[in-house]
């Protein structure tokens, strides 16, 4: 299937590690010019080194504050002239809870997980209008299931689902499609870090995997990336405002099955 992504400029936030790196690589494998934005400079350099003929470049920058998002978009335009797609992916489950947290930490968590989604879309919009581009927002199952002890992250992930629908509606006149992908359990550096917070990470992983209905296994970053790349492609030309769950049935199938 030709996804017609050749030479399309795709901007991927948090694009140097984990799910974002898989999205960056998969876009490039489909012939796109993939631009990863990530604050982890080493991961950016490694990604570029492993590019092997693929069109991958990176911008090593933190997505906060908003002025950085503006600068990122300006830099992409200065280098590549246009933007065809934005994948808002960067985020961190930072455990700012209701009981163990405070209003300032909550606000900071929203900054880490939500505000740059709006800021990147805002600054990229004039360019997406020119190309009839597309946006994919990465949310999380926690937006629907909760997790406990992580109000800032979950509020952000819920808001991202709301904004996906809102932007899909607002951007209809420009033919810009906006969709969200909702992962549940994907092995990435962030996930490993979360597991390492438990006294027995291996035991915790076993108990998580046992609750994933399809194949009792984690979703791979490549499986998330495949959905993202499809949504960005012309093959998904009549899909907008959708929340796509790539989770082995974790969120919706009957608990009695596991
Ligand atoms: P990851 O392994 O931590 O990779 C994310 C990358 O984004 C890291 O390099 C990270 O840098 C970078 N990043 C984060 N915030 C940034 C910022 N403000 N500015 C620039 N770079 C930033 O994470 P992941 O597991 O792939 O998660 C990617 C997305 O999927 C997140 O939105 C997450 O909420 C969502 N998700 C993941 C899972 C899962 O099971 N893994 C499940 C549901 C949803 P640092 O390492 O310096 O933070």
Half-sphere exposure of 195 (CA within 13 A, CB side): 18
Rounded to an integer, what distance in angstroms lies between the CA atom of residue 52 and that of residue 47? 10
Boundaries of every domain in the chain: 9-184+220-246, 187-218
Ligand 1 midpoint to CA 159 (Å): 17
Confidence at residue 205, expressed as pLDDT on a 0 to 100 scale = 97
Q: What is the mean pLDDT of residues 246-257?
A: 97
DSSP structure string for 75-94: HHHHHHS---EEEE------
| Residue whose pair of structure tokens reads 């093959």 in the numeric block | 235
Please give the CATH number for the structural domain made up of 9-184+220-246.
3.40.50.720
Q: What is the pTM of this model?
A: 0.98
Sign of the torsion formed by the C-alpha atoms of 165, 170, 156 and 85 = positive
Rounded to an integer, what distance in angstroms lies between the CA atom of residue 133 and that of residue 122? 13
Rounded to an integer, what distance in angstroms lies between the CA atom of residue 42 and that of residue 36? 13
105-141 tens-digit pLDDT: 999 999 999 999 999 999 999 999 999 999 999 999 9
Confidence at residue 72, expressed as pLDDT on a 0 to 100 scale = 98
Mean model confidence pLDDT for the chain: 97
169-214 tens-digit pLDDT: 999 999 999 999 999 999 999 999 989 999 999 999 999 999 999 9
3-class secondary structure, 8 = coil
- Residue located nearest, by CA, to atom 6 of ligand 1: 14
Is residue 52 predicted with pLDDT exceeding 90?
no
The torsion angle over the Cα atoms of residues 207, 150, 224 and 127, rounded to 10 degrees, is 180
10-51 tens-digit pLDDT: 999 999 999 999 999 999 999 999 999 999 999 999 998 888
Which strands form 134-138's sheet, in the order they lie side by side?
56-60, 33-38, 9-13, 85-88, 134-138, 177-183, 243-246
Which residues form the pocket of ligand 1, taking CB atoms under 6 Å from any ligand atom?
14, 16-20, 38-40, 43, 62-64, 89-92, 112, 116, 138, 140-141, 183-186, 188-191
């Amino acid at each position: 299937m030709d996804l017609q992504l050749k030479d399309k400029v795709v901007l991927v936030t948090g694009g140097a590690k984990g799910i974002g790196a898989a999205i960056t690589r998969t876009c490039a494998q489909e012939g796109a010019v993939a631009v990863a934005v990530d604050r982890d400079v080493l991961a950016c350099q490694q990604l570029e080194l492993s590019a092997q003929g693929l069109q991958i470049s990176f911008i090593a920058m933190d997505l906060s504050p908003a002025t950085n998002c503006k600068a990122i978009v300006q830099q992409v335009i200065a280098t590549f002239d246009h933007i065809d797609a934005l994948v808002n992916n960067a985020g961190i489950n930072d455990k700012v809870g209701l009981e163990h947290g405070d209003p300032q930490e909550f606000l900071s968590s929203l900054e880490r997980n939500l505000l740059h989604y709006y800021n990147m879309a805002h600054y990229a919009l004039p360019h997406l209008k020119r190309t009839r581009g597309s946006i994919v927002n990465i949310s999380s199952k926690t937006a629907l299931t909760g997790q406990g002890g992580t109000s800032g992250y979950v509020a952000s992930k819920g808001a991202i689902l709301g904004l996906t629908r809102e932007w899909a509606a607002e951007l209809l006149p420009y033919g810009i499609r906006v969709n969200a992908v909702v992962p549940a359990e994907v092995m990435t550096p962030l996930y490993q870090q979360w597991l390492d917070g438990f006294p027995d990470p291996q035991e915790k992983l076993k108990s998580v995997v046992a609750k994933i209905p399809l194949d009792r296994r984690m979703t791979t970053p490549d499986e998330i990336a495949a959905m993202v790349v499809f949504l960005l492609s012309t093959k998904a030309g009549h899909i907008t405002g959708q929340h796509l769950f790539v989770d082995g049935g974790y969120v919706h199938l009957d608990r009695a099955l596991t």
